[in-house]
């Protein structure tokens, strides 16, 4: 079933690559800012028919905050175009038929995914709130390597959680040839061990305690890494603190080379420079534009879109 991949002001390169992988057309939707910084979105005239003619995969992230509103506005505009909802159109109403469900939100990086529970009384569970809000404006969601999958449970629309770990494993096998893979905390065990299995090398993990946003501690652990090339694999790198501390532990135990790999390269506040003092290489997907993006997230996202289409094929009308 052919559809279109649409994107707003986010990374059109990734949306374009996803479209190529699926063999679909890529549509650039109109987005701009008013002088007071409020956002404006529009499905341009030449995109109206393609948006109504088959499934639509909107690639949009939830980071930074302005992207959340843009995503919601784009979903609303796309849904209106598909449902024929043109009421209050200046210059007169246009009547179109409703072409039915088929709007999928594809989220390469899910901002707020780390606020997946109440760590203290009175907190908002931001990850769940956002998920529910998006779910009520689309017919299905694809999310790449979400930090806490539980945030996407019971959304009322199909959700496909996909991972770029197969592509990260392939990249590491070809370019780094690790002898050992390490997860820097318990949360990354599943992802990192899948990379170790794919490359067929030994695996271990560290136990991490976060003191604050910038400070973490690892419980000391004996790792058999003397003279080895080690890849530390995590879902995201933000300040780089987790990776730097894990790398220090590996070096103390004789690791010859240490590389860091992640799906989401946030690299906040000098992280790239900090990492440069601790690891021999940094590898990331392009789920967020970043200077270390050397693995494409398009294939992983396409797996999710294909699965959603399969699950919903009986409900989607192709014009
Ligand atoms: C948290 O558990 C995540 O998986 C990452 O380990 C963490 O977000 C990385 O943050 P930072 O780079 O600031 O240590």
The residue count for the chain: 319
In this prediction, what percent of the chain has a pLDDT beyond 70? 99
Task: Give how far Cα 22 sits from Cα of 55, 56, 101, 301, Å.
Answer: 12, 12, 19, 10
Q: Whose CA is nearest to atom 9 of ligand 1?
A: 237
- Distance in angstroms (rounded) separating the CA atoms of residues 269 and 24: 37
* Nearest ligand 1 atom to alpha carbon 184: 6
Q: Which of 238, 243, 292 to mutate to test ligand 1, by most ligand atoms within 8 A of the CB atom?
A: 238
Of 46, 45, 54, nearest in space to 22 by CA: 54
Write down the pTM of the prediction. Answer: 0.95
- Distance in angstroms (rounded) separating the CA atoms of residues 50 and 61: 22
Q: Tell me the per-residue pLDDT of 227-271, one tens digit each, with 9 for 90 and over.
A: 999 999 999 999 999 999 999 999 999 999 999 999 999 999 999
Alpha carbon distance, N-terminus to C-terminus of the chain: 11
CA of 270 to the centre of ligand 1 (A): 15
Residue 246 beta carbon below 6 angstroms from any ligand 1 atom: no
pLDDT for residue 144 is more than 80: yes
- At 208 the pLDDT is 87
pLDDT for residue 40 is more than 80: yes
- At 211 the pLDDT is 85
HSE-up (13 A, CA, CB side) for residue 164: 35
- Those residues whose C-beta lies under 8 Å from the C-beta of residue 36, and which sit 6 or more positions away, are none
- Distance in angstroms (rounded) separating the CA atoms of residues 264 and 281: 15
Residue 116 beta carbon below 6 angstroms from any ligand 1 atom: no
Q: Which of 111, 113, 234, 249 to mutate to test ligand 1, by most ligand atoms within 8 A of the CB atom?
A: 234
- At 234 the pLDDT is 97
* Nearest ligand 1 atom to alpha carbon 240: 12
CA of 139 to the centre of ligand 1 (A): 31
Residue 257 beta carbon below 6 angstroms from any ligand 1 atom: no
* 129: confidence class by pLDDT, cuts 50, 70, 90: very high
- At 1 the pLDDT is 81
Q: Active-site residues: which are they?
A: 208
Residue 240 beta carbon below 6 angstroms from any ligand 1 atom: yes
- At 85 the pLDDT is 79
Q: Which of 113, 187, 232, 236 to mutate to test ligand 1, by most ligand atoms within 8 A of the CB atom?
A: 236
* Nearest ligand 1 atom to alpha carbon 236: 5
Q: Whose CA is nearest to atom 2 of ligand 1?
A: 187
- At 221 the pLDDT is 85
- At 287 the pLDDT is 97
């Amino acid at each position: 079933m052919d559809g279109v991949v649409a994107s707003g002001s986010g990374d059109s390169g990734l949306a374009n690559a996803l479209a190529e992988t699926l063999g679909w057309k890529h549509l650039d939707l109109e987005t701009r800012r008013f002088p007071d910084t409020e956002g404006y979105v529009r499905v341009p005239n030449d995109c109206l028919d393609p948006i109504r003619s088959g499934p639509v995969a909107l690639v949009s992230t939830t980071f930074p905050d302005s992207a959340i509103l843009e995503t919601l506005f784009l979903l609303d505009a796309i849904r209106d175009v598909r449902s024929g909802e043109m009421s209050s159109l200046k210059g007169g109403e246009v009547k179109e038929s409703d072409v039915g469900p088929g709007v999928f939100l594809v989220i390469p990086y899910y901002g707020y995914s780390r606020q997946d529970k109440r760590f203290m009384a009175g907190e908002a569970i931001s990850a769940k709130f956002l998920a529910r809000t998006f779910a009520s404006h689309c017919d299905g969601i694809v999310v790449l390597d979400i930090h806490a999958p539980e945030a996407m449970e019971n959304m009322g629309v199909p959700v496909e959680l996909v991972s770029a770990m197969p592509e990260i494993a392939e990249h590491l096998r070809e370019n780094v040839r690790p002898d050992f893979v390490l997860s820097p905390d318990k949360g990354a065990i599943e992802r990192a061990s899948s990379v170790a299995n794919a490359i067929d090398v030994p695996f271990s993990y560290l136990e991490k305690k976060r003191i604050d946003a910038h400070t973490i501690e690892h419980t000391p652990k004996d790792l058999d890494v003397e003279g080895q090339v080690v890849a530390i694999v995590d879902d995201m790198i933000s300040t780089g603190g987790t990776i730097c501390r894990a790398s220090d532990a590996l070096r103390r135990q004789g690791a010859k080379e240490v590389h860091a790999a992640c799906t989401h390269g946030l690299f906040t506040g000098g992280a790239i420079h900090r990492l440069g003092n601790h690891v021999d290489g940094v590898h990331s997907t392009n789920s967020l534009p970043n200077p270390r993006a050397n693995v494409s997230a398009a294939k992983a996202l396409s797996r999710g879109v294909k699965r959603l289409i399969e699950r919903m094929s009986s409900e989607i009308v192709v014009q």
